[in-house]
Structure 1
């Protein structure tokens, strides 16, 4: 509580309490008992004095104080020393903490009085003793009064104690680590060094004497208390003298973290005192994170209590026993590894010998049947694989088992997993066939009772259900309550099934680790019960056992200890089982977790300083056989700690790059090079100020420490190494360097877009470094980040494959190692991927030694895939099948029937839905920019102005629609748009200065005075914005001025005499009034919103334009053109004048754009063409697919409806076995058997009958064999 008061107040009283804290810390408990009364009196008088200062003297006395002069120093002194003030009293909230401290100190004084009293009378207090017990640990006759919870788990309390006392040390280290890296000052380096030192030793510090452990821990506590006291003392310069400190010392102030902390001030009263002054200010982060010191002190004191408890004696003894058994774990792993290799080799030899014997008999039989023909004929490969006949199936041994029978334990586990799946299926089946209440009751009763009682329970439940329906179905409220209860129970049942399934999934991948740990735990119990294992020798302060495990077992104790009754793992709740299984899989697979953390660190930050970690993972860790040595992990731990330390040093603002502006991911050429260049040294190295700079390194250290715990527990924390063959290293290095992925930023159009391309190239280590630096610019691109992560995972898998080698027998696909639902889905997806099956098969044939041709290989792969699918379907029917002779439930039929019907109806409506939705839905997409240009001939444009783009208001759009109420075609057109889709482009009538060079003027006069027509061109350009992209759309209108016309004469006079003339240049039907911007990205002129004139149909879409030449006031032959739209015609009077912006036609050029709504580019492709074309193509493709799935498969019914495919599947596997055993003649025999079975439907049908069928020649040898058909 004293530390909390110091951290909260940080004033003069905090300094006094700091002195008391140091005094209380260094005194022994026996002395504290006597001087504690002094501390209580001090707290009491301090509280009384401050209370008096808070309320102040009576106002009638009119006492004035020196600090009321309101100078800066006296104002701060009044707040710092909690002095009375007539105008601004000190905050009384500061006294709350001291009031609580006084209460706690008084109670502690009572405890001290009891201890003094009991020590004088030599009475043992019932609540326990606070005496010093450390010396008892080294006493050989000492008996620990606390039950050994590390060896025996008798209750949940033992489980909690085991977790707490084993994890408290690591939890304390991580809290201290977070407290040091979250602050950047010189005090944090003390914490960081201590943390790295303790993390480096780990639980090895338990092998030191307990007094040494406490001594080093007390040193850390003293450092923590000194830091708290120093920070309290530094409030004096931070609050009083900060404006007087020169600016050149700001770096030093930031390193020390000097600042003025006022936790009870919520106004800017004190900030106004320093307003306008140039002074150094500590960061707010440094001033607010003083709380971390209090948290660290709290956790250090808790851990100190742990070290001084009887419970910790068991932790040390458990560590000693684990040290004795460490070598045993390595031996057990080696034994299991050798046994597994032996079983695999025996299984391979058994299968190979069986296939060889079987096919050799068929080869000899073929030679006997063919006789002289076989000896005298030249047999080709094609003849060999087509030589299959009925004799090959007359005396078959049936299916050759690829694996031995399951062991009893494995069979029990398999049945357990099947039972969980069956329970889940039954739950949903009961939910569908009956109701939720019956399903929930059956599930929870099934979890408690045996299978033989399920039917009786179900009948009782149905009877109870009827009674319950009558009982609480009368009131609506009670019925809703019961339904809610059963809904929660049903939800919990689903969660329970998920928990059990996840637990079993985790346990599947941790069997070896669990078996070794169970064996070690058994031997540890034997060691603790029958030997004095904790007696050892000290060498340089470190504990070492006096004998090995075998030596201690040979010398048991005369009276072994009795083991108590323990809790079984099956007694634990499912959620605890899941947590335990999750922790075990993290520990057992912690090496992969370490590699993944290193990769994620490099991918997320892309810093040069962490590249050595990635190199160590790829070129050392993953290529070490059988596993990396202790040296590798020590270097990893040391380097990660060094990276954190270096990064911490570069968080200071005085470091290079930190005083610059924030780094930006996008490179702007107008910014300084240092702030945007990824090759700037501090950013290139990753040594600059950033938030959570330690995060990924912290995860990496945690993963490495977990793996070290695993290695020490199993006994693999050794320096033994196994060299890797040169071929493995070279092969992996070539693969890695040849498939190095790089990202390069390519400037897009006009330098605005940034396109990231991924390419593969051969590169060096330096190229890898440069690639990582380039990747820093693209780190925000999620697709590239995901690609890098998956690429790194692929490299890890490849390295592991090289390290462990390749199996000698490979067949089928990578996912053909089971026959479940997921295997069936995977092979269906694999076969649906375009050209994947063909590409994979052709590559396999090219790289595999075989006698088969490429087309025979394709046939074999196709047969294998088909047979494998049938085998998966039979396995699914066996697992999820329904009993025979049972009518399908109505709800079952409705569910599937309605679903399929809706599916086909949706397929029929899908083209119409997409087409209509694609044209109606989406967002309005008005032009972002537009320009209008008029040009005579090929000369410079006489008019080129940008537009002001406006969105039409809803009321204006409704008024526009009313103008066309009497016309059906425009009304129908307006139904496809709303007000947000209509844009208004307004252009000023005055153009820019039209400047022609003398040569151009002569050419222009010559063209105008000639007899050839002169072309006048209108060009309207619209830009549509799509994120960072700009799309340009252009529409042009051309008209001609014929010779000897009034317009030509006007142009000639203007050009020749260089002055203004009466008259104007009028061009008919040149300006489009309404434009349509379509989804496809095209722009067209609308001709259905105006009426045609008698002189031509062009009036329905375009307007007349008048050009008047104006001479510039500056003279010098400069001229500009005034462009106006002609008004007064019928279209203007009937429509345009009444429309929005119609009154501006004389002052502006107004153009309306109708813009189609924009949706995804995919729908643009679908809706851009004709609906009939889209509908026809869609129905053709979908109908062909559905017809292929539902009908038209009668020719393959014999295969897809085969009762079982075991023998056909075994025949396919025989081909792979012969090929990999390099028995080329037998490979042809095996392939011939498969091809003939597929060619002869009758033979394949007989081979695919159920096992035990009397008509199956493979199960009854007394029946006549399969003969040739006559």
Structure 2
């Protein structure tokens, strides 16, 4: 487009012909040879390419007609400005509203047109012509539909012009609220398709690993949904949280009791873990990690996986934690070789202890408190968090309590887990030896509303209402500063001066171009001269 505009301004038919031939060759080479190889699609199967080629052929036909007919001898301004009707005025406004179109035209015209003006003076002349053209269109409209002096403005004009702007401003104020309300009603459910749970002691290999699939993730039943609401009926905070979700947004995840993977740990690492557990000084942390995955589609906007971690501190100073550390250590087992005298009572006790470690005969389980949260909020994007408003407030703690044991079958070892059942919870009356977790899954907006709702109500007001409000404010304020340049009774002489400037420029009269430009600038620098130049002239009687 830029090259074509430059050739047009230079009026070079030879350059236009060469450019047209090159464009025909390049377009056909691209459409029929290069593009099919790049995207592996034939031209007949590529609808967008066919549409683009259709419009390009229309351009080739018009360009060929232009080469045959020749360029105009004079290029005087914009083709839209040949008439002063209200239709031309509307097209002129639309043309000016197109981003960078006006700026590109001014720059290309200045570059490829013979002129003595600087870019700054060129811009001033173009701006004067554009402003005078708009005023001329309005003056012709007022002459075509005159308003008598002293006559009240018609109500239809008030309601169409003022009422339309009033409704527009009200719509701008309420638009963010309407958009947020629509986005809230157009949300779609976003349940997880899989869940991954891991128990890990410090830096060592995970003890328990389980990835649940769709058969272990079920929407909460009507009966359990009713029980859940009845359980927190008297808790205002919990009831408010539950009411923000629908029944299909709550998923019950059942974690089987046995780990899905064996506990493969090397003997040196197992010995290191054993030493850390029986040490009275080393602190051991039990890490409970959970994450949730989704099957994304084209209509939802959400993260493919969200998760979180929870740490249980096994403090060697606490008697209960110290007992749990020693119990897990016994389950792990270890081997240690040392020369012990059977006659020495202390050595005899150590011999018996080492025998238990080598034999791995301890088959008990250990109780761990507050491991997994029973209620988890799964957001669309971000980190899954426990629902604190739903956590039980009793002497058993806030999180689920589990029993953890090491199972063996020959040389294979794996960990098992089950939930410690307490009475009094209507949702846990029929618990099986597995862990149950309830996830509250935030609904997501469709792609239609996601770009807007992501800003929030405050972001929309800042980015839309304030920006549009400032543009509207320009219409209702600051007009007094420009009244001397917008309320011209007659702009015919200014337009004629601009047209004369274009004519002498096309004729190569550069000195006369400078003189007319200086006269035009002088008019706008002298308000008194401008008033005389733009008023209607009184005709003599003999005329």
- Which TM-score tier does this pair reach, normalised by the shorter chain? 0.7 to 0.9
Q: Counterpart of 1:1159? A: 446
Deviation of 1:1016 (Å) = 1.4
- 1:988 to 2:260 alignment: no
Write out aligned runs for 1:760-775 (5 A): 766-767=33-34, 770=37, 774=41
- 1:828 to 2:96 alignment: no
- 1:855 to 2:85 alignment: no
Question: How far, CA to CA, are the matches of 1:1170 and 1:771 in structure 2?
Answer: 41
Deviation of 1:725 (Å) = 7.4
Deviation of 1:911 (Å) = 2.6
Change (3 A) 1:978 1:1021: closer
| Cα deviations by residue, 1:1181-1211 (Å, 9 ceiling, x for unpaired) | 1221111112221222233332343322222
Change (3 A) 1:884 1:725: closer
Write out aligned runs for 1:1177-1192 (5 A): 1177-1192=463-478
- 1:925 to 2:211 alignment: no
Q: Counterpart of 1:779? A: 46
Deviation of 1:1069 (Å) = 3.3
- 1:1103 to 2:400 alignment: yes
Write out aligned runs for 1:434-445 (5 A): none
Change (3 A) 1:1247 1:1150: same
Q: Counterpart of 1:1022? A: 293
- 1:1055 to 2:343 alignment: no
Q: Counterpart of 2:386? A: 1085
Structure-1-length-normalised TM-score: 0.35
Q: Does the 8 Å contact 1:1039/1:1067 carry over to 2?
A: no
Question: How far, CA to CA, are the matches of 2:432 and 2:517 in structure 1?
Answer: 86
Write out aligned runs for 1:1127-1166 (5 A): 1127-1128=421-422, 1133=424, 1137-1139=425-427, 1143-1144=430-431, 1146-1160=433-447, 1163-1166=449-452
Change (3 A) 1:727 1:920: closer
Q: Counterpart of 2:344? A: none
| Cα deviations by residue, 1:160-181 (Å, 9 ceiling, x for unpaired) | xxxxxxxxxxxxxxxxxxxxxx
Residue 732 of structure 1: SS of its match in structure 2?
helix
Q: Does the 8 Å contact 1:931/1:947 carry over to 2?
A: no
Deviation of 1:1035 (Å) = 1.7
Change (3 A) 1:1042 1:895: same
Count of paired positions: 496
Q: Counterpart of 1:256? A: none
Deviation of 1:1089 (Å) = 1.7
Question: How far, CA to CA, are the matches of 1:1145 and 1:815 in structure 2?
Answer: 81
Q: Counterpart of 1:579? A: none
Residue 72 of structure 2: SS of its match in structure 1?
coil
Change (3 A) 1:764 1:832: closer
Question: How far, CA to CA, are the matches of 2:246 and 2:164 in structure 1?
Answer: 37
Q: Counterpart of 2:247? A: 979
Question: How far, CA to CA, are the matches of 1:1218 and 1:1203 in structure 2?
Answer: 27
| Cα deviations by residue, 1:823-875 (Å, 9 ceiling, x for unpaired) | 33333233334444333323332333322222222222322322222233334
Q: Counterpart of 2:355? A: none
Change (3 A) 1:1223 1:1184: same
Residue number among 195, 201, 210 corresponding to 1:944 in the alignment: 210
Question: How far, CA to CA, are the matches of 1:898 and 1:1077 in structure 2?
Answer: 47
Question: How far, CA to CA, are the matches of 2:69 and 2:193 in structure 1?
Answer: 61
Change (3 A) 1:1000 1:1120: same
Residue 849 of structure 1: SS of its match in structure 2?
coil
Question: How far, CA to CA, are the matches of 1:1229 and 1:1202 in structure 2?
Answer: 23
Question: How far, CA to CA, are the matches of 2:86 and 2:79 in structure 1?
Answer: 15
Write out aligned runs for 1:870-949 (5 A): 870-879=135-144, 886-890=151-155, 892-941=157-206, 942-948=208-214, 949=217
Q: Comparing both structures, which one devotes a greater share of its residues to helix?
A: 1
Change (3 A) 1:1186 1:1121: same
Residue 391 of structure 2: SS of its match in structure 1?
coil
Residue number among 1226, 1232, 1245 corresponding to 2:512 in the alignment: 1226
Question: How far, CA to CA, are the matches of 1:1159 and 1:1119 in structure 2?
Answer: 47
Residue 924 of structure 1: SS of its match in structure 2?
coil
Q: Which ranges in structure 1 are unaligned for 5 or more consecutive residues?
A: 1-723, 742-761, 1263-1270
Write out aligned runs for 1:342-421 (5 A): none
Q: Does the 8 Å contact 1:1066/1:1106 carry over to 2?
A: yes
Residue 1119 of structure 1: SS of its match in structure 2?
strand
Deviation of 1:1037 (Å) = 1.5
Q: Counterpart of 1:1217? A: 503
Question: How far, CA to CA, are the matches of 1:1209 and 1:1145 in structure 2?
Answer: 91
Deviation of 1:966 (Å) = 0.9
Deviation of 1:803 (Å) = 4.5
Structure-2-length-normalised TM-score: 0.77
Write out aligned runs for 1:527-542 (5 A): none
Residue 992 of structure 1: SS of its match in structure 2?
coil
Q: Does the 8 Å contact 1:933/1:1020 carry over to 2?
A: no
Question: How far, CA to CA, are the matches of 2:330 and 2:137 in structure 1?
Answer: 92
Change (3 A) 1:1183 1:1055: same
| Higher Cα Rg, which structure | 1
Residue 855 of structure 1: SS of its match in structure 2?
helix
Residue 809 of structure 1: SS of its match in structure 2?
coil
Q: Does the 8 Å contact 1:1080/1:1164 carry over to 2?
A: no
Residue number among 303, 307, 313 corresponding to 1:1035 in the alignment: 307
Q: Does the 8 Å contact 2:36/2:43 carry over to 1?
A: no
Q: Counterpart of 1:22? A: none
Question: How far, CA to CA, are the matches of 1:976 and 1:1111 in structure 2?
Answer: 46
Deviation of 1:1143 (Å) = 3.9
Residue 1210 of structure 1: SS of its match in structure 2?
helix
| Cα deviations by residue, 1:769-816 (Å, 9 ceiling, x for unpaired) | 646963559736xx6665554455445544544454432322434543
Deviation of 1:1231 (Å) = 1.8
Deviation of 1:943 (Å) = 0.8
| Cα deviations by residue, 1:1038-1078 (Å, 9 ceiling, x for unpaired) | 31443642333233333335857344344443323333344
Q: Counterpart of 2:341? A: none
Deviation of 1:928 (Å) = 3.8
Residue 417 of structure 2: SS of its match in structure 1?
strand
Question: How far, CA to CA, are the matches of 1:822 and 1:933 in structure 2?
Answer: 71
* RMSD over aligned Cα atoms: 3.9
Question: How far, CA to CA, are the matches of 2:416 and 2:146 in structure 1?
Answer: 86
Q: Does the 8 Å contact 1:1215/1:1227 carry over to 2?
A: yes
Residue 1246 of structure 1: SS of its match in structure 2?
helix
Q: Does the 8 Å contact 1:1204/1:1248 carry over to 2?
A: yes
| Cα deviations by residue, 1:452-506 (Å, 9 ceiling, x for unpaired) | xxxxxxxxxxxxxxxxxxxxxxxxxxxxxxxxxxxxxxxxxxxxxxxxxxxxxxx
Write out aligned runs for 1:154-303 (5 A): none
Q: Does the 8 Å contact 2:332/2:406 carry over to 1?
A: no
Deviation of 1:733 (Å) = 3.5
- 1:963 to 2:249 alignment: no
Residue 1031 of structure 1: SS of its match in structure 2?
coil
Residue 1208 of structure 1: SS of its match in structure 2?
helix
Q: Counterpart of 1:1075? A: 376
Change (3 A) 1:777 1:1089: farther
Q: Does the 8 Å contact 2:377/2:387 carry over to 1?
A: yes
- 1:1064 to 2:351 alignment: no
Residue 535 of structure 2: SS of its match in structure 1?
coil
Change (3 A) 1:846 1:885: same
Question: How far, CA to CA, are the matches of 1:1145 and 1:1220 in structure 2?
Answer: 94
Residue number among 808, 817, 833 corresponding to 2:73 in the alignment: 808
